[in-house]
């Protein structure tokens, strides 16, 4: 039976949601998914989303109608997988605490903006990151408010160069969690679509989305 996925993109253009959506659509189709792409959160009102295998939100710094977010959260609680990355999933709707509860985190800062930093694999035997190993990365180093229930798979450590008082803070970069009956996956990597050229980033995303979709 063909698996089904929904990608909804929009919000701030700086995160290249259109190009990122096209890349993720191609990734999922290569894995046998039937993928629907929408450009409005009104897509979350469709009762059919409760029958999907996976939802990939790609909206940054936007707003969402109460009925839309309620139906989205209900679909995920009922077992529809959720997976995404960077601000396209975890800086989507700053006023929606239930959405943040579902995703497991909310962006709050990226000291230094685009910088070089290290991603450290926290659970090297987990299938989502096994064999990848620590790697250097150039992007925004996300500082996030995170759910302590998250199962953290990769981290980064702030060295204090751009914000002295967070020196030594170890911050989750990749995690998975449960929300109701669903699997939820998140990676803080992926400021623009260009970052999919980094093999470690792309492979973690591929594995994470497949895991979320069961």
- 22 secondary structure, DSSP code: H
Range of the domain at 40: 4-212
Q: Where are the alpha helices (DSSP H) in 81-197?
A: 86-90, 97-103
* Helical (H) or strand (E) element with 25: helix 17-30
CA 14, 117, 89, 5 dihedral sign is positive
- Residues 128-136 have a mean pLDDT of 98
Q: Is 183 exposed, middle or buried (0-12, 13-18, 19+ CB in 10 A)?
A: buried
Place 107 in a pLDDT band, splitting at 50, 70 and 90.
very high
- pTM given for the model: 0.98
* % of the chain residues with pLDDT over 70: 100
pLDDT at 166 over 90: yes
- 72 secondary structure, DSSP code: H
CATH assignment at residue 112: 3.40.50.880
Q: Is 32 exposed, middle or buried (0-12, 13-18, 19+ CB in 10 A)?
A: exposed
- Residues 10-19 have a mean pLDDT of 98
What's the number of domains the chain is made of? Answer: 1
Tell me: the pLDDT tens digits for 16-64? 999 999 999 999 999 999 999 999 999 999 999 999 999 999 999 999 9
- Residues 180-185 have a mean pLDDT of 98
Which residues does residue 145 pair with via DSSP β-bridges, in sequence order? 106
Tell me: the pLDDT tens digits for 57-99? 999 999 999 999 999 999 999 999 999 999 999 999 999 999 9
- Residues 148-171 have a mean pLDDT of 98
* Helical (H) or strand (E) element with 18: helix 17-30
């Amino acid at each position: 039976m063909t698996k089904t996925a929904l990608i909804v993109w929009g919000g701030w253009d700086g995160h290249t949601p259109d190009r990122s959506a096209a890349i993720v659509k191609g990734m999922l189709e290569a894995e046998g998914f039937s993928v629907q792409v929408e450009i409005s959160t009104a897509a979350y009102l469709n009762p059919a989303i409760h029958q999907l295998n996976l939802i990939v939100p790609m909206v940054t710094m936007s707003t969402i109608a109460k009925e839309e977010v309620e139906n989205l959260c209900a679909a995920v609680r009922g077992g529809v997988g959720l997976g995404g990355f960077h601000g396209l999933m975890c800086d989507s709707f700053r006023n929606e605490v239930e959405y943040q509860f579902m995703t497991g985190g909310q962006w709050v800062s990226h000291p230094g903006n685009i910088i070089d930093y290290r991603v450290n694999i926290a659970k090297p035997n987990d299938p989502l990151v096994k064999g990848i190993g620590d790697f250097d990365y150039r992007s925004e180093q996300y500082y996030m408010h995170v759910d302590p229930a998250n199962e953290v798979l990769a981290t980064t450590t702030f060295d204090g160069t751009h914000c002295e008082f967070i020196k030594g803070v170890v911050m989750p970069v990749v995690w998975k969690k449960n929300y109701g009956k669903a699997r939820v996956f998140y990676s803080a990597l992926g400021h623009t679509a260009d970052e999919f050229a980094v093999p470690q980033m792309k492979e973690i995303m591929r594995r994470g989305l497949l895991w979320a979709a069961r």
